[in-house]
């Protein structure tokens, strides 16, 4: 093989390495993805392996998103998350959970995890959740004497549950990228999401029992909280989120409405709830709309850039290069699956969750979907199993430096006394718990496919 042919064959590898290098320039990643696609498209034209007319193929691929009614759920969920952040629902919910758990070891941390579960089940916007939990819960935890590393670790990990617990924007995009039923995937992701939250709760209990100073209980005040007070707090703090959960997730799992319709109902419910509680003026509504538009624009600019990158990568032979590597290494079904999960985990150190989703899933999804794992899992269920494994693994991308966005969100709104070192120390056990959850799901795929079979199979 001569040198020019070798360069042509390795163009996809060079393209990926250039992308990795440009990530560290702090330039907006959507433009990095699109710019890399254009650059290597021009290089491909010079080497006669790409044609200029193929740039026009970006348009129909991007238009498939605009033409997909399911994707309308994404901006609706974003708006719902922003609306809930601006209302007092989060404060009331934390106060109610604290009241119930005030004598438990690490009670405030346990309440934060439960808040993460509840808000994940209302809206799948991680950025809004982590900022909201940091502003509301971190001062309370620090004032109560919690170790800063534990406090920020709990907040960062709990906020990422929105990736996995339906309704999740990430799950909606997974259904766009892979041929899946969104109701089936929502049902498949629910139990793993609750399992991960349970792992967090068990860890906090064990840790605060072993090291009482890490999450001290409040001193006895000699007063018993009456059931009437607890009931009032639960009605005000827990009932509104429970109603939204029933409207958004329950209606989808029951097959009553589509994901788009449930998102519209949820967004309307959050709007009415914010107005009825007197915490939202027309000026604040305008601000919520502007913030929602900025987040939605960022998501879809990212999709445009990633679509262009993926197309050029494929035309230059990226799929063939990966398939050749897989074939040469003779990995087998388990080897391919574990390699994909490991690569997605490692990409989480350098890429944002949507970037990984839009780059890695179209590459590995078609490779994993037809694999046969024998009696371990039925072949038609493999794609749902893989999708949930990807969703759990992608949670780490919010927590692992240097690209862990949740860490920067926390640092941006936390008191100056909380250092980045404390934040990095705090997230380590929760990243380990997330990967433990991946291992459990790999070992017992019924955790994913059991509930969908019960709900949807005759």
State the average pLDDT for the chain: 78
Instruction: Note the pLDDT of residue 197.
Output: 92
Query: With 60 as the cut, is the pLDDT of residue 205 above it?
Result: yes
Rounded to an integer, the average pLDDT of 142-147 is 82
Instruction: Note the pLDDT of residue 67.
Output: 64
Instruction: Note the pLDDT of residue 88.
Output: 67
Query: With 70 as the cut, is the pLDDT of residue 377 above it?
Result: yes
Rounded to an integer, the average pLDDT of 282-302 is 78
Q: Is the peptide bond before 348 cis (omega within 30 degrees of 0)?
A: no
Instruction: Note the pLDDT of residue 225.
Output: 58
Query: With 60 as the cut, is the pLDDT of residue 3 above it?
Result: no
Q: Give the whole-number percent of the chain exceeding pLDDT 90.
A: 8
Query: With 90 as the cut, is the pLDDT of residue 195 above it?
Result: yes
The greatest distance separating any two alpha carbons of the chain, rounded to the nearest whole angstrom, comes to: 84
Q: Which two tokens stand for residue 167?
A: 């309704």
Q: Which two tokens stand for residue 220?
A: 């006895």
d(C-alpha 255, C-alpha 209), whole Å: 43
Question: Where is average pLDDT lowest: 140-154, 156-170, 295-309?
Answer: 295-309
The pLDDT tens digits for 48-86 are 888 888 888 877 777 766 666 666 767 777 777 677 666
Task: Please state at what angle helix 332-347 crosses helix 420-443, rounded to 10 degrees.
Answer: 160
Rounded to an integer, the average pLDDT of 132-153 is 81
The pLDDT tens digits for 12-52 are 778 878 877 776 676 776 788 788 888 888 888 888 888 88
Instruction: Note the pLDDT of residue 385.
Output: 92
36 phi, psi to nearest 5 deg: -65, -40
How far lies 197's CA from each of 40, 163, 204, in Å? 43, 12, 11
d(C-alpha 348, C-alpha 359), whole Å: 12
The pLDDT tens digits for 250-262 are 666 666 767 677 7
Query: With 50 as the cut, is the pLDDT of residue 97 above it?
Result: yes
CA atoms within 13 A on the CB side of 4: 6
Q: C-alpha 439: how far from its chain's center?
A: 18
Query: With 80 as the cut, is the pLDDT of residue 314 above it?
Result: no
Query: With 80 as the cut, is the pLDDT of residue 187 above it?
Result: yes
Between 249 and 367, the more confident residue is 367
d(C-alpha 219, C-alpha 158), whole Å: 26
Q: For residue 435, what pLDDT band results from cuts at 50, 70 and 90?
A: very high
d(C-alpha 420, C-alpha 124), whole Å: 26
The pLDDT tens digits for 329-361 are 666 788 888 988 988 888 777 676 777 777 788
Q: For residue 222, what pLDDT band results from cuts at 50, 70 and 90?
A: very low
């Amino acid at each position: 093989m001569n040198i020019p042919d070798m360069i042509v064959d390795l163009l996809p590898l060079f393209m990926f390495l250039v992308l990795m290098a440009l990530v560290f320039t702090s330039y907006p990643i959507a433009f990095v993805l699109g710019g890399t696609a254009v650059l290597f498209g021009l290089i491909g034209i010079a080497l006669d392996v790409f044609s200029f007319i193929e740039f026009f193929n970006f348009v129909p691929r991007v238009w498939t998103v605009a033409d997909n009614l399911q994707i309308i759920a994404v901006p609706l969920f974003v708006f719902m998350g922003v609306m809930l952040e601006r209302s007092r629902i989060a404060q009331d919910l934390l106060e109610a959970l604290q009241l119930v758990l005030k004598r438990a070891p690490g009670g405030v941390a346990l309440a934060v995890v439960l808040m993460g579960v509840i808000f994940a089940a209302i809206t799948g916007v991680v950025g809004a959740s982590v900022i909201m939990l940091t502003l509301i819960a971190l001062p309370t935890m620090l004032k109560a004497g919690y170790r800063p590393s534990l406090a920020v670790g709990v907040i960062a990990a709990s906020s990422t549950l929105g990736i996995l617990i339906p309704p999740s924007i990430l799950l909606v995009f997974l259904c766009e990228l892979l041929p899946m039923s969104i109701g089936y995937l929502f049902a498949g992701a629910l139990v793993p999401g609750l399992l991960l939250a349970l792992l967090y709760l068990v860890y906090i209990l064990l840790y605060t029992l072993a090291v009482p100073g890490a999450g001290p209980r409040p001193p006895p005040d000699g007063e018993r909280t009456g059931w009437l007070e607890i009931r009032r707090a639960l009605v005000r703090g827990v009932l509104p989120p429970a109603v939204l959960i029933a409207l958004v997730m329950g209606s989808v799992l029951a097959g009553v409405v589509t994901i788009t319709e449930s998102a519209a109902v949820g967004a309307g419910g959050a709007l009415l709830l914010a107005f009825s509680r007197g915490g939202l003026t027309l000026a604040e509504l305008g601000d919520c709309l502007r913030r929602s538009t900025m987040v939605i624009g960022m998501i879809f600019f990212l999709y445009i850039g990633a679509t262009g990158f993926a197309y050029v990568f494929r035309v230059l032979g990226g799929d063939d290069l990966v398939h050749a590597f897989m074939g040469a290494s003779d990995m087998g079904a388990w080897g391919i699956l574990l390699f994909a999960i490991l690569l997605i985990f490692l990409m989480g150190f350098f890429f944002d969750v949507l970037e990984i989703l839009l780059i890695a899933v179209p590459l590995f999804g078609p490779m994993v979907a037809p694999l046969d794992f024998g009696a371990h899992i039925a072949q038609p269920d493999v794609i749902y199993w893989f999708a949930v494994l990807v969703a759990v693994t992608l949670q780490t991308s919010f927590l692992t430096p240097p690209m862990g966005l949740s860490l920067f969100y926390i640092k941006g709104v936390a008191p100056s006394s909380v250092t980045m070192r404390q934040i990095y120390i705090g997230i380590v056990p929760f990243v380990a718990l997330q990967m433990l959850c991946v291992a459990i799901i790999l070992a017992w795929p019924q955790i994913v496919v059991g509930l969908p079979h019960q709900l949807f199979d005759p």
